[in-house]
């Protein structure tokens, strides 16, 4: 759907006016299109590219130094008229002749051809480059008869660079055809696009299927196949274009430019997911990728689909592909690559060296891993419930956050312990992993809590009951420090502070750690439930604060659940509590 328009009939013209208004440094309006707002240098060939509207950035977005000189823009998906092409070309031409470029479609061939006739009749030298990169639209033997899709970008970029480097019209024409002959594209679509003002998409692809060999004017694909994973789609596109790879010898050695193009409704993130696989496969097949482009380049309104273009480069094509350009929708810096030696290393979590630990501390570390695994199992058990609480006034992800976080912490802790870490280091690693895996507010706070708790332990000694009580308090203090929430803000702090105070009091009088934690957990549960009576003043749910009335705070509630599990663990045989008799104050 196109949501914003005035009169649907004026959509393309209105869009062009706005585009020109947004980029006065680059372009100005001409009849039926735009030209550079600076004169074409005398005797420089003018590259005039175009086609229908509805494909932005193609074609108007590519007018500027190092790229095109002008772009006639037809109505949505229909060729500019001959008179529009003529006007734009006339405006751009300055003694060097005109190279007209467009995707190979019947309407464009006719209208651009007719404009060329008129210009020639007036003594202007005109050449034509018809881009024909789409392998789905015809056999390899007649590559130049295929239709043009996202290959438009590379062909025009390369031709524009040749012109900027001083090519005359003969030379510009030769380079443009060479680029076209070296470019192959292949696409798939998941859903057709809807013309502005229309109520229905031009075509539909059945759910769970994709159409192979899309066009960029709402032409459906040539056949429908089951929709695969992103990696399968990547492989399909790649296998298609690589079928026509020339032999690697002489000028071509496996260096390629790559354009992964979104048609309008595919997210950049999705494109990157696909590109990750494309890059990996190209590397595995011995290709070297030169300045890949992943994004929207030749769109088709809101069409859901993507295409992959590969340019088999020789030195000349590569030089022009890499040359600077400065158009509103395509910029390449002159010597823009950062200088300095290439970086060989980045920090990887979990790969920091593990400090030496004593046997006693390692024994405690093993128990800490058991605790983390228990928290993991507990969070998994309550995942749905935590999520439901968060869905009332938050975003519903608290169950997932806790499940991911505890899973990460358990795995991170176990990994460190396996590498010989002591109690402190295991908990520090677990804290990092929790925050890393959970994301979200609660993930960051719990990660900080584990880290702070770990700081109380050390790698030389066994963990003893008083240290556990201190570690719990330190973790809670870290949450308060980092999160800045105050009692009554309706956060986990409302359960954690009463827990901390109850634990301190109980442990001081009984010296029974497990019992104290159990008791404090019950206090925390009650406090968490009491948060149902207040409205949120912190975190995501503050926005919908009133809505949270009647539901306990998810973070407070999950805190009480995990502390209860911890109490159970501490009270079980084989836990830290066995250490208690030697180390804790005598309770008799």
Residues that bind Mg ion (CB under 5 A): 390, 394-395, 397-398
Going by C-alpha positions, the residue among 379, 251, 247, 412 that lies closest to residue 318 is 251
| Among 135, 163, 329, 445, interactor with ligand ADP by CB under 6 A | 445
Question: CA 287, CA 248: separation in Å to the nearest integer?
Answer: 10
| Residue at token pair 């800490």 | 368
**Distance of closest approach, residue 383 Cβ to ligand ADP, in angstroms:** 11
Residues in the chain, how many? 588
Residue nearest to Mg ion (CB): 394
Angle, helices 554-571 vs 359-381, to 10°: value is 130
385 is catalytic: no
Span near ligand ADP by CB under 6 A; candidates 3-11, 176-184, 396-404, 576-584: 396-404
Q: Using the rule CB under 6 A, is 436 a contact of ligand ADP?
A: no
In sequence order, the 6+-apart residues with CB closer than 8 A to the CB of 166 are: none
**Distance of closest approach, residue 93 Cβ to Mg ion, in angstroms:** 60
Going by C-alpha positions, the residue among 234, 291, 282 that lies closest to residue 257 is 291
* DSSP-assigned letter for residue 426: H
Q: Using the rule CB under 6 A, is 447 a contact of ligand ADP?
A: no
Q: Using the rule CB under 6 A, is 493 a contact of ligand ADP?
A: yes
**Distance of closest approach, residue 376 Cβ to Mg ion, in angstroms:** 19
Give the residue with the Cβ less far from ligand ADP, 188 or 556.
Answer: 556
Give the residue with the Cβ less far from Mg ion, 25 or 395.
Answer: 395
Which of ligand ADP, Mg ion, none does residue 185 bind (CB under 5 to 8 Å by kind)? none
In sequence order, the 6+-apart residues with CB closer than 8 A to the CB of 469 are: 503, 504, 507, 513, 516
162: three-class secondary structure by DSSP = helix
**Distance of closest approach, residue 374 Cβ to Mg ion, in angstroms:** 23
Q: Using the rule CB under 6 A, is 531 a contact of ligand ADP?
A: no
Which of Mg ion, ligand ADP, none does residue 45 bind (CB under 5 to 8 Å by kind)? none
Q: Using the rule CB under 6 A, is 403 a contact of ligand ADP?
A: no
Q: Using the rule CB under 6 A, is 449 a contact of ligand ADP?
A: no
**Beta carbons of 389 and 405 less than 8 angstroms apart:** no
Q: List strand residue ranges (DSSP E) for 296-438, in order.
A: 304-312, 325-327, 330-332
499: three-class secondary structure by DSSP = helix
H/E stretch holding 262 reads: strand 255-262
Residue 47's φ and ψ, nearest 5 degrees, are: -90, 115
Q: Using the rule CB under 6 A, is 398 a contact of ligand ADP?
A: yes
3-state helix/strand/coil string of 372-411: HHHHHHHHHHCHHHHHHHHHHHCCCCHHHHHHHHHHHHHH
Site string for ligand ADP, 537-556 (x = CB under 6 A): -xxx------------xxxx
Q: Using the rule CB under 6 A, is 394 a contact of ligand ADP?
A: yes
**Distance of closest approach, residue 203 Cβ to Mg ion, in angstroms:** 39
Out of 55, 217, 297, 429, pick the active-site residue. Answer: 217
Residues designated as active site: 217
Q: Which residues bind ligand ADP (CB under 6 A)?
A: 390, 394-395, 397-398, 401, 440-442, 445, 479, 483-485, 491-493, 538-540, 553-556
């Amino acid at each position: 759907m196109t949501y914003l328009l005035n009169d649907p009939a004026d959509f393309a013209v209105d869009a062009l006016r706005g585009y020109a208004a947004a980029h006065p440094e680059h372009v100005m309006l001409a009849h039926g299109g735009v030209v550079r707002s600076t004169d074409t240098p005398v005797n420089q060939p003018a590259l005039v590219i175009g086609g229908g509207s509805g494909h932005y950035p193609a074609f108007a977005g590519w007018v500027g130094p190092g790229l095109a000189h002008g772009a006639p823009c037809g109505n949505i998906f229909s060729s500019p008229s001959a008179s529009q092409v003529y006007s734009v070309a006339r405006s751009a031409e300055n003694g060097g002749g005109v190279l007209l470029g467009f995707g190979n479609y019947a309407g464009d061939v006719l209208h651009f051809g007719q404009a060329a006739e008129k210009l020639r009749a007036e003594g202007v030298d005109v050449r034509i480059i018809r881009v024909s990169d789409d392998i789905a639209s015809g056999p390899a033997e007649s590559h130049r008869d295929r239709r043009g899709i996202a290959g438009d970008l590379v062909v025009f970029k390369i031709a524009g660079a040749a012109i900027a480097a001083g090519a005359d019209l003969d030379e510009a024409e030769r380079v443009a055809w060479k680029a076209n002959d070296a470019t192959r594209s292949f696409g798939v679509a998941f859903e057709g696009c809807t013309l502005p003002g229309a109520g229905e998409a031009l075509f539909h692809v059945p759910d769970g299927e994709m159409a192979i060999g899309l066009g960029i004017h709402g032409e459906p694909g040539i056949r429908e196949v089951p929709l695969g994973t992103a990696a399968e789609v990547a492989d399909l596109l790649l296998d298609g274009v690589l079928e026509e790879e020339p032999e690697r010898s002489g000028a071509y050695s496996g260096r390629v430019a790559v354009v992964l193009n979104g048609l309008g409704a595919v997210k950049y993130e999705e494109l990157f997911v696909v590109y990750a696989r494309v890059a990996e496969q190209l590397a595995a097949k011995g290709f070297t990728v030169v300045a890949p482009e992943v994004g929207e380049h030749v769109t088709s309104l809101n069409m859901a689909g993507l295409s992959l273009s590969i340019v088999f480069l020789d030195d000349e094509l590569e030089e022009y592909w890499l040359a600077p350009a400065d158009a509103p929708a395509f910029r390449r810096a002159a010597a823009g690559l950062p200088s300095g030696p290439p970086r060989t290393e980045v920090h990887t979590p979990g790969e920091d060296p593990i400090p030496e630990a004593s046997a006693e501390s390692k024994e405690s570390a093993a128990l800490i891993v058991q605790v983390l695994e228990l928290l993991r199992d507990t969070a998994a058990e309550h995942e749905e419930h935590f999520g439901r609480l968060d869905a009332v006034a938050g975003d519903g992800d608290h169950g997932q956050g806790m499940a991911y976080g505890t899973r990460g912490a358990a795995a991170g802790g176990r990994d460190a312990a396996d590498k010989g870490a002591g109690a402190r280091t295991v908990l520090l690693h677990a804290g990092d992993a929790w925050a890393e895996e959970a994301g979200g507010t609660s993930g960051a706070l719990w990660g900080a809590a584990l880290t702070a708790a770990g700081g109380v332990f050390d790698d030389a000694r066994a963990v003893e009951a008083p240290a556990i009580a201190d570690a719990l308090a330190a973790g809670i203090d870290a949450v308060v420090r980092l999160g800045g929430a105050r009692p009554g803000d309706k956060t986990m702090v409302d359960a954690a502070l009463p827990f901390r105070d109850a634990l301190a009091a109980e442990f001081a009088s009984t010296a029974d750690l497990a019992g104290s934690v159990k008791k404090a957990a019950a206090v925390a549960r009650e406090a968490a439930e009491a948060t149902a009576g207040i409205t949120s003043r912190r975190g995501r749910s503050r926005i919908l604060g009133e809505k949270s009335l009647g539901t306990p705070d998810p973070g407070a509630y999950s805190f009480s659940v995990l502390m209860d599990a911890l109490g159970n663990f501490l009270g079980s045989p084989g836990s830290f509590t066995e250490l208690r008799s030697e180390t804790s104050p005598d309770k008799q």
